[in-house]
Structure 1
Amino acid sequence: MDRRNFLQATTLAALAQAAGMARAQNDWPQKPLRLVVPFTPGGGTDATSRLIAERLTVLERWTVVIDNKPGAAGNIGLDAVAKAAPDGYTIGMGQTSNLTINPWLYPKMPFDALKDFTPIAEVAAQPVVLAVRADSPLRTLTDFVKAAKARPGQFSIAQAGSGTVGHLAGEMLARRAGLQVLQVPYKGAGPAMTDLLGGQIGLYFGSSVSVMPQLSGGKARALAVTSAQRLPALPDVPTVAEQGFPDFEATTWVGLVGPAGLPADVVARLNAAVVKVVARKEVQDKLALEGSVPVTGTPQQFDAYIRAEHAKWGALIRDAGIKLD
């Protein structure tokens, strides 16, 4: 084969390969998707992930398989996503803790939260609720701040564990209000709520999911929510920001991420599908039942939000000297 024919053959082969790759991407997905959930079955992140997976299966006719990989506050599951092939067939449900808090608490992380993932779409956010027993004399956040300032060090706030958003929300409030309070970490939301209702502790900063049943049952009362706006499920409960602390916001959020280098067209298709799912009334109704607020946007907006949250929590953790027990 002379040089001219060789170049023509090489060019044709390259064009055929490019066309084949484009066709393969346009036909994506051609096999089931694996959605890694970095927490155990039955929790809030797992429930939201299964809701999204089920609706993607119905609306897009994709097969989405849930793969629970708990451990190390979500680090193990997200590490599996970071190390997966960037072909769109392995995605993960990222969260506040594993993407923006853990990097500042763990001396050694298995991944770089800002470099090893492709943000796809935020899904939902859950504010933290400051709750007391129904018979508590504290009826507003202002009541608590005044009482805590009058009796420094005599108030304790339960939270579901060191490094949780509830823990950090309590630290943020204490610093903003100039309070001396004792943070009491529990091994989960259940024990914390049990001690609140039993009178062993006076206040609990917990996720809306863990607090809603007791609020609905009249056993607990909410003093404030930590979202930027009031929670639709608790319209009569003012935000922390409304009660004298402008711009105060602390939420647990979840959103889909993939490995770094995910093809842009795959990211766009996943984002569009998730936005469509979250916009469905039945999905929003289910999220509202657990105190979650649906959140959607572009991959670029989600990326910017992750980076902002990473910086915010990092500054608080450094300034407060927070360490894992």
Structure 2
Amino acid sequence: MRPGRRGCGALALALALMAGGLPVHAQRAVTIVVPTPPGGPIDRVARVVAQYLQPRLDAPVVVENRQGAAGKIGAQAALRAPRDGQTLLAVSPSILTVNPVVDRAVGYDPLKDFTPLAIVAANSGVLAVRAGLPVADLAGLVDFAKAHPDGLTYASFGVGTSLHLQSEELLQTLGITARHVPYKGEAQAMNALVAGEVDMMVYVTAPIVPYVQSGRVRALAATGARRWELLPGVPTYAESGLPALRGYTYRSWVGLAMPAGAPAAQQDAVGRALRDAMAEPGLRLALEGQGFEPQAYDPAAMREAISSELDRNRRVAASGRVHLD
């Protein structure tokens, strides 16, 4: 006698349980929590990844924006979800390596409360100044700053954000000072630079390219270890000729993490799906088209990046240059 559908379903369920838990595609939708507003770098990367994860998980992948409190609201929302591997958090250095340093009430430990899955995309950028600032290169910027103590201003996308800390780290490295002017987001900070309301941004990404090309702002240095493909004529920090910047680099990134404590089978299933998605040429092209650098799937490398950047940001915070009020 042939088994009925109910018998086959029971057998499949039993085999799945024996194998260490139900596969992701047999459960509810996977949610990627984005702790920032729609349209920003984290959101854009998360939506590209969701598109390629969905067919590999054979389940809907939903992007949910839970912005506020410098990313704290979204991170804590992900941690409150069931620890079943169905909720992921899209992250950046601000979420995992800055908030835990500058916010005593952040409510999570980045290495204990989350399982790093992979850095999906890196985000290169440039140090840029307003067109009317009379400097042509980094050496000129340093000379101008020393000749006009506290005369420079720099924009960031908020007090206590990654750009705030990175700006102060660079200024300290160069031995100069500038007044911090925080804005509500990256777009607002960049628009202020273009309008000439502030003198510089020490790290600004792909949206600045047309303004550099049109001469409305001036790019002085690429922040990565090599020249940026979008603006190949801009020298790197190492090429500036300033001894203080030998070996100095900065880049941002976007990755995915899972709240810790999910079943190993679920972690493995999501990890395999993400690995396969990140190897897809279509995903890589989609990220490159938005100015990102696709990365290789490497959970260990992400954990190491979090750890080293936490140490780097703690040193900046301990310098006394970062004022959070």
TM range (shorter): 0.7 to 0.9
Q: CA deviation at 1:262?
A: 2.8
Structure 1 range deviating more: 69-78 or 263-272: 263-272
What is the letter of the counterpart of residue 148 of structure 2? R
1:304 aligns with 2:304: yes
C-alpha change, 1:273 and 1:183, in structure 2 (3 Å) is same
Instruction: Work out the CA distance in 2 between the residues paired with 1:313 and 1:33.
Output: 32
Q: Is the 8 A contact 1:207 1:252 kept in 2?
A: no
Q: Quick check: 133-142 or 27-36, which moved more?
A: 133-142
The two structures, once aligned, show a CA RMSD in angstroms of: 2.4
Partner AA of 2:181 in structure 1: V
| 1:199 to 1:94, Cα distance in 2 relative to 1, 3 A | closer
In the alignment, the residues of structure 2 paired with residue 104 and residue 164 of structure 1 have an alpha-carbon distance, to the nearest angstrom, of 10
Name which of 161, 164, 167 aligns with 1:167.
164
Q: Which of 225, 228, 231 is 2:225 aligned to?
A: 228
Q: For 1:123, what is the secondary structure of its paired residue? A: strand
Counterpart residue number, 2:93: 96
Counterpart Cα distance in 1 of 2:89 and 2:317: 25
In structure 2, the residue matched to 1:113 is 110
Q: Helix, strand or coil: the match of 1:223?
A: strand
Q: Contact conserved, 1:104 with 1:314, CA < 8 A, in 2? A: yes
Alignment check: 8 A CA contact 2:222 2:236 kept? yes
- Within 5 Å, give how 1:273-312 maps onto structure 2: 273-312=273-312
Q: Deviation string for 1:13-70 (max 9, x for gaps)?
A: xxxx996534363633313211111112222211110111012224554320111111
Q: Match for residue 200 of structure 2? A: 203
Identity %: 35
Could you tell me which residue of structure 2 aligns to residue 27 of structure 1?
23
Change (3 A) 1:62 1:241: farther
Give the structure 1 partner of residue 44 of structure 2.
47
Q: Which moved more, 1:274-283 or 1:249-258?
A: 274-283
- Would the aligned equivalents of 2:223 and 2:236 in 1 still touch at CA under 8 Å? yes
Unaligned regions of 5+ residues in structure 2, if any? 1-12
| 1:261–1:214 CA distance, 2 compared to 1 (3 A) | same
Q: So what's the TM-score if we normalise by structure 1? A: 0.85
Q: Greater shift after overlay, 69-78 or 239-248?
A: 239-248
Q: 1:214 and 2:198 equivalent?
A: no
Q: What is the CA-CA distance between 1:138 and the residue it aligns to?
A: 2.1
The answer as to whether partners of 1:97 and 1:164 remain within 8 angstroms in 2 is yes
* Contact 2:223/2:251, CA 8 A, preserved across alignment: yes
2:145 is equivalent to residue 148 of structure 1: yes
Measure the CA separation in 2 of the matches of 1:264 and 1:232: 39
Query: Could you tell me whether the CA contact under 8 Å between 2:42 and 2:254 is conserved in 1?
Result: yes
Question: What's the counterpart of residue 260 of structure 1?
Answer: 260
SS at match of 1:138: coil
Report 1:2-81 matches (<5 A).
20-23=16-19, 25=21, 27-31=23-27, 32-81=29-78
Distance 2:195 2:279 in 1: 40
Partner of 1:127: 124
Q: Structure 2: how far apart are the matches of 1:19 and 1:237?
A: 58
**The one of 68, 83, 86 aligned to 1:86:** 83
Partner Cα distance (2:194, 2:145) in 1: 20
TM-score (norm: length of structure 2)? 0.85
In the TM superposition, what is the alpha-carbon distance from 1:270 to its structure 2 partner?
2.5
Unaligned runs of 5+ in 1: 1-16
